[in-house]
Chains A and B, each alone.
Chain A
Amino acid sequence: MNVQTPLVIETHELSKTFNNVQALKPLDLKVSQNTICGFLGPNGAGKTTTIKLLLGLARPTGGSALVFGKDIEKENDLIRRKVGYLSQDPRYYDYMTARQTLRFTAGFFYEGPKVEIENRIAETLELVGLSDKADRPIKGFSGGERQRLGIAQAQVNYPDLLILDEPAASLDPIGRKDVLEVMEKLRKHTTIFYSTHILDDVQRVSDTVVILNKGVLVAQGPIEELLAGGQGTTFTLTVKGDSAAVENRLQSQPWVTGIVTISKNGKVSWQIRVSDPDLAEAQLVPLALAGGGVTVCEFGRKAQNLEEVFINIVEENNHDNL
């Protein structure tokens, strides 16, 4: 993480206990300005609790947190002026239309001029693709339309920080794509901190990732670093011929930490996890060819996806806690 970039969110041992159950264990979280930070974790990991603490909707039982350098307990009024928030299950007043909802939301932030406020509302409706439904009561809105309205109300005030709790959870693939596009458009103006279960989306738009499991922060950092690796790099090697001898040679290398073998169509493919990627890159093919009798069909570094990284991290953390 670039330490020079100002931090928008910074927590110090922030924790929350509900009825003697620790929903959030002491959390040290950092989110830099103008990044899109994906906040990941299984159900019940403490993501929504963290978000509610940052917004002043719940009170911490321990630790502290700063948003824009302001204390979440003592200066929450000032924080909420600069934040847009979309809850996990957004609910609005059903008797209002989308335009009235945005007018009501904008009323918390702006006094006028009226024309400018109406322009801003129209612009926001356009951004989320609700212009044609702007004057319909929300009661008849689909889940996707409500979610779009949720994003619209969250950013009608040009927030410096947009906090989105599962923004794409109830959307179909097209709706998800639209939401991600909106997030991309807002990136240059706003820091976005969003929780989600949809790891493909995180990999597509996020700069940094925070992974929470059972109330504990288990990983935090730029997405490239996370994908590259704390969990070791994996190479794929496919050969045709005497594979048993090759596998023995590979197993005997001290920098090989795990091998998964897949046989198909007379070829043998290995996924080789290594502790020293540079050494592995230089030596794996010579090792395979050393005894003769084999042909290397394919070799390369296996691209990890976030889902694998996430599952590995969470499972390791669960195992450590047993």
Chain B
Amino acid sequence: MTTYETSLISNRTLGWRMGLRNMLAKENFAWWRTRRWWIQILVAVLILNGSLALNLRDPQRTSVDLEAINFLNTSALFVPILIVILTQDSILSERHSGTTAWVLSKPLQRPAFILSKLIAYGLGFLMTWVLIPNIIFYIQLVAAGRVGLSIPGFIGLIGLSFLNLLFYMTLALMLATLFNNRAPGLGISLLIAWIGPMQIFARPMEKYVPWLENILPWKLISSFGEPPLAGYLALGADLPTVVPIIATVLWCVLFVGVAIWRISREEF
């Protein structure tokens, strides 16, 4: 076979990692070398820290734990919507435009395609929707003279906020590989995100399916009749249960597994 003489070093990675590094570099480029990152930070800070700033203006409100719970509740309400929309779009817009077929015609493994989205979007969301708003949240509390969060507790709060975000991100990733349009994924994700914290559903669920709150991420950052688990951590208290944390991690693993299985069977 006629081949070109070249001093280029071929990429020899095989197996599930084939193309991962290159794809990840491209996803990171899209996050950090376009205006995406600062738009995300701006929206996150406006929604999450903006609502806290409004609360802090009220001199009657002096409780640190109340502010922490309100901040977490605002996160529980808004973060899933945006995470689901953005994550779904990362898969569906590429599938619809044809860029997925294009990159998969190159030496790229399908699991690597999903993992590159997971890693890049996970890091992007961690930075823009968790770390920066939470650090600003801490600074806002200190500035308002309401210090009370221990540093390890605060890190635990950040960890559970991120785990909650990861649940919706991996769920959206999976649903985007299962459905060809945005509506089912958005509907299912928001149903899960909002049904738990809403009192109208919370009471019947407590009566008929009391175990449900323990196997879904609701308790991580939403006040579900009692303070969220992140609230316990933030205030340095012992966690009443770790079952929701373990269950959420397992859900995330399951969702990623299904997404990889589904995309491996997809035809373009």
Contacts and interface: CB of A to CB of B under 8 A. Distances in A.
B22 A112 contact: no
B179 interface: no
B18 to A, nearest CB: 6
Nearest to B97: A91
Interface in A91-109: 91-93, 95-96, 100, 104-105, 107-109
B11 A189 contact: no
B241 interface: no
A110 B9 contact: yes
Contact of B106 (A92, A105, A158): A105
A188 interface: yes
B99 A91 contact: yes
B98 interface: yes
A91 B102 contact: yes
Contacts of A56: 104
Interface residues of B, number: 34
Contact of A113 (B2, B7, B11, B22): B7
B101 interface: yes
Interface in B1-49: 1-4, 6-11, 14, 18-19, 21-22, 25-26, 29-30, 34
Contacts of B63: none
Interface residues of A, number: 41
Contact of B9 (A6, A95, A113): A113
Interface of B is mostly: loop
Contacts of B29: 96, 100
Contact of A95 (B6, B21, B34): B34
Contacts of B3: 158, 160, 189
Contacts of B26: 93, 104, 107
Contacts of B105: 55, 57, 80, 83, 85, 87
A116 B18 contact: no
A93 B99 contact: yes
A109 B1 contact: no
A240 interface: no
Contacts of B14: 77
A58 B7 contact: no
Nearest to B7: A116
Contacts of B102: 87, 90-92
Interface in A52-68: 52, 55-59, 68
B107 interface: yes
A189 B98 contact: no
B12 to A, nearest CB: 8
Interface in A179-233: 188-190
B109 A52 contact: no
Contacts of A85: 105
A77 B101 contact: no
A83 B107 CA distance: 9
Given A108-B22, A111-B10, A116-B7, 14 more contacts: A58-B268, A77-B14, A77-B107, A80-B105, A87-B102, A93-B26, A95-B30, A96-B29, A110-B10, A113-B7, A113-B8, A113-B9, A158-B6, A160-B3
Please provide the 3 A-B residue pairs with the shortest distance between their CB atoms, ordered closest to farther: A107-B22, A91-B98, A158-B4
Interface of A: 6, 33-34, 52, 55-59, 68, 77, 80-81, 83, 85, 87, 89-93, 95-96, 100, 104-105, 107-113, 116-117, 120, 158, 160, 188-190
